[in-house]
């Protein structure tokens, strides 16, 4: 009896990562990649994030050419870095620029988990710092979408210093009255969470996003305490008072638009 040939996946269907139900791709996309059945918010690439958040054709990328060397000559780093570049078509794990929400100018940065887990090395940190400082320069609010496993090990201490560098840039925004909003998307962890992500004026999160300082297993080992069922989810972080609001993807644009226009009511956009 001949072996049955495995059928190629039907491009019209996709399986939900939450409820495992098979969904029509068209419905799924129209629903901003949120499962119509269980409301699971699937991860977005930066292009998808731009599409669902900003005014049409308003995104203008900055600093697209920045890339990292291999300052530590860390084993296998160069190969992994090049592989990620090929896979994603980006130079590093974060894309930044300016965009508009309901006509209002904002400076933005969007981390992409597909590129080495969205890890923060020198380039990621530099682009975050520039995006924050561009808010000061252009006198507009800053919105950063976080998605990262943490600092990039392969750049060693240089990566740790990005926590400080991005924090320094947040300080610049604060000194200059520039509102800064961070959005925790799945996942927002470790070095990113413990620096610029957690000191925004307003912190939003997507439902069920993984948000935490240490890996859940590390936390469990560190203590005999029972881990809460929702540990390290956006809902947990909200419950303990560490973020302002969990926002459904469909509401994100409107929420950001309102916050940016209210907190930035005194700003006059600098024409570039």
Tokens 């300016």, located at residue: 98
Residues 95, 146: Cα–Cα separation, whole Å: 11
Question: What character string, x for contact with another protein (CB under 8 A) and - otherwise, covers 59-78?
Answer: ------xxxxx-xx-xxx--
235 binds another protein (CB under 8 A): no
Q: Is 137 in the site for another protein (CB under 8 A)?
A: no
Coil, strand or helix at 229:
coil
> Is residue 199 near another protein by the rule CB under 8 A?
yes
Q: Which residues contact 15 (CB under 8 A, 6 or more apart)?
A: 21, 22, 23
- If one asks whether residue 222 binds another protein (CB under 8 A), the answer comes out as yes
163 binds another protein (CB under 8 A): yes
CB-nearer residue toward another protein: 34 or 170: 170
Strands (E), 116-155: 142-148
Rounded CA-CA distance 42/186 in Å is 8
Site for another protein contains 155 (CB under 8 A):
yes
Contact 203, 179 (CB under 8 A): no
Which helix (H) or strand (E) segment is 15 a member of? Answer: strand 13-15
Q: How far is the CB of 190 from another protein (least distance, A)?
A: 7
**Which residues contribute to the site for another protein (CB under 8 A)?**
65-69, 71-72, 74-76, 91, 122-123, 125-126, 129, 151, 153, 155-165, 167-172, 174, 190-191, 193-199, 212-214, 218-220, 222-223, 225, 227-228, 231-232, 236, 240-242
């Amino acid at each position: 009896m001949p072996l049955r040939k495995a059928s190629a996946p039907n491009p019209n269907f996709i399986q939900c990562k939450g409820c495992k139900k098979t969904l029509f791709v068209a419905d799924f996309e129209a629903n901003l990649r949120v499962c119509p059945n269980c409301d699971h918010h699937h991860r977005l690439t930066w292009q998808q994030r731009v599409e669902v958040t900003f005014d049409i054709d308003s995104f203008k990328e900055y600093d697209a050419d920045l890339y990292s060397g291999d300052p530590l000559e860390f084993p296998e780093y160069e190969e992994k870095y090049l592989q990620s570049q090929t896979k994603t078509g980006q130079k590093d794990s974060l894309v930044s620029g300016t965009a508009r929400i309901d006509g209002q100018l904002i400076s933005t940065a969007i981390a992409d988990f597909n590129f080495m887990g969205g890890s923060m090395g020198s380039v990621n940190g530099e682009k975050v710092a520039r995006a924050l400082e561009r808010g000061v320069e252009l006198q507009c609010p800053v919105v950063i979408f976080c998605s990262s496993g943490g600092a990039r090990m392969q750049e060693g201490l240089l990566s740790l210093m990005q926590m400080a560098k991005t924090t320094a840039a947040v300080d610049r925004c604060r000194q200059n009255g520039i509102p800064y909003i961070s959005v925790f998307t799945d996942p927002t962890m470790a070095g990113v969470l413990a620096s610029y992500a957690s000191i925004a004026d307003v912190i939003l999160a997507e439902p069920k996003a993984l948000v935490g300082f240490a890996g859940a297993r590390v936390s469990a080992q560190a203590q005999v305490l029972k881990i809460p069922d929702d540990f390290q989810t956006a809902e947990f972080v909200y419950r303990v008072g560490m973020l302002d609001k969990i926002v459904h993807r469909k509401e994100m644009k409107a929420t950001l638009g309102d916050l940016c226009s209210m907190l930035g009511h005194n700003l006059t956009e600098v024409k570039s």
